[in-house]
């Protein structure tokens, strides 16, 4: 039985990597080497409950106007809103602005280096903290989102709603 489980995991891993090589969205503006924590954070916040195709334009426009977290932290909600308007879930935008101000004032413009430090900021949960640490800091954290959970649950448990113990 142990050999069968090991073979199943290898099969899953190989096919998942093959799928990514063939269909992975490597063209996305946030899929690049040496990405800054700020860029990962902006993309992850915008991608929450929003389709990728919709986010691309907002992300590019947003980073053109606010290329650094200090640029974002220096503005008001009124100045922020035109660059976020239409994304919905405005609490995310409010939290972005709050978090930018906290990072600049309390952390000297640098994102915290720990998961706990990141999760102490408004609007940053476990997934976003893991994504920042993994993609921008090259740390060994699993950014396990709802989509990954569905694939994993369907393959190993036969249901997209399976509870997966990470």
Active site residues: 44
Straight-line distance from the first to the last Cα atom of the chain, in angstroms, rounded to the nearest whole number? 22
Residue 43 exposed, middle or buried by CB count within 10 Å (0-12, 13-18, 19+): buried
| Rounded CA separation 137/163 (Å) | 29
User: Please, are residues 76 and 93 in contact by the beta-carbon 8 Å criterion?
Assistant: no
* Packing angle, helices 37-47 and 52-65, rounded to 10: 140
Nearest to 92 by CA among 133, 122, 62: 122
User: Please, are residues 125 and 115 in contact by the beta-carbon 8 Å criterion?
Assistant: no
């Amino acid at each position: 039985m142990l050999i069968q489980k090991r073979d199943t995991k290898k099969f899953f891993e190989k096919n998942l990597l093959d799928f990514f090589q063939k269909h992975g969205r490597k063209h996305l503006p946030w899929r690049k080497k040496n990405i800054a924590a700020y860029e990962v954070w902006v993309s992850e916040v915008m991608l929450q409950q929003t389709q990728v195709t919709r986010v691309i334009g907002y992300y590019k426009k947003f980073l053109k106007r606010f290329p650094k977290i200090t640029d974002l932290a220096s503005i008001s909600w009124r100045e922020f809103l035109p660059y976020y308007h239409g994304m919905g879930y405005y609490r995310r935008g409010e939290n972005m602005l709050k978090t930018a101000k906290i990072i600049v004032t309390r952390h000297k413009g640098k994102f915290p280096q720990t998961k706990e430090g990141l999760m102490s900021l408004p609007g940053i949960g476990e997934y976003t903290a893991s994504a920042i640490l993994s993609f921008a800091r090259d740390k060994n954290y699993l950014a396990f989102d709802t989509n990954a959970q569905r694939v994993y649950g369907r393959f190993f448990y036969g249901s997209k709603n399976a509870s997966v113990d990470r």
